[in-house]
């Protein structure tokens, strides 16, 4: 039995106020609106894109050294995570859920890399979330926005 991809929605949707990319889940406005009508393959494709973009942001900041411990802690702490995504994305789910309570990320099977050790997990979470939103927005603009009107350049 295949695992169904759950909605990435976190209840902070900004597409309703005009954003092309949701500030909460980082899906595109058309994906938010059409999610319930998508096939499982389409949902997986969206989930994998979100994962790849988030990993791009996280890989220079955090590393997972014990995936089994991380999974155990996610389940013990009842942190919602998407099983089909990478362990780095799982760490971000953990940080989003408890950045202000976590004193040692190492107790969860991950560590902050040296260049970011000086930051609190709360500040790191904010930085990663902002960079993830920017990367998602740039990806949307590159691949889904309408092309610029070139007629005005020709006349």
Q: What pLDDT shows up at residue 151?
A: 56
Q: What pLDDT shows up at residue 110?
A: 98
Helix (H, G, I), strand (E, B) or coil at 147: coil
pLDDT tens string, the chain, 155 residues long: the values are 455 777 777 777 777 777 789 898 998 998 988 899 999 999 999 999 999 999 999 999 999 999 999 999 999 999 988 888 899 999 999 999 999 999 999 999 999 999 999 999 999 999 999 999 999 999 999 988 766 555 544 54
Q: CA 57, CA 88: separation in Å to the nearest integer?
A: 10
Q: Find tokens 């009508």 and name the residue.
A: 37
Q: What pLDDT shows up at residue 109?
A: 98
Query: What is the domain partition of the chain in residue ranges?
Result: 15-142
């Amino acid at each position: 039995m295949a695992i169904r991809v759950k909605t990435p929605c976190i209840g902070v949707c900004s597409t309703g106020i005009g954003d092309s990319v949701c500030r909460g889940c980082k899906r595109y406005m058309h994906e938010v609106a059409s999610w319930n009508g998508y096939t499982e393959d389409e949902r997986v494709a969206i989930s994998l894109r979100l994962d790849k973009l988030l990993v791009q942001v996280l890989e220079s900041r955090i590393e997972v050294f014990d995936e089994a411990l991380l999974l155990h802690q996610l389940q013990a702490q009842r942190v919602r995570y998407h099983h089909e995504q990478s362990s780095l994305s799982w760490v971000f789910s953990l940080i989003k859920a408890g950045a202000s309570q976590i004193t040692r990320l190492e107790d969860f099977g991950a560590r902050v890399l040296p260049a970011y050790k000086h930051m609190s997990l709360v500040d790191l979470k904010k930085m990663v979330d902002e960079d993830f939103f920017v990367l998602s927005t740039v990806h949307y603009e590159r691949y889904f926005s309408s092309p610029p009107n070139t007629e005005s350049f020709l006349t």
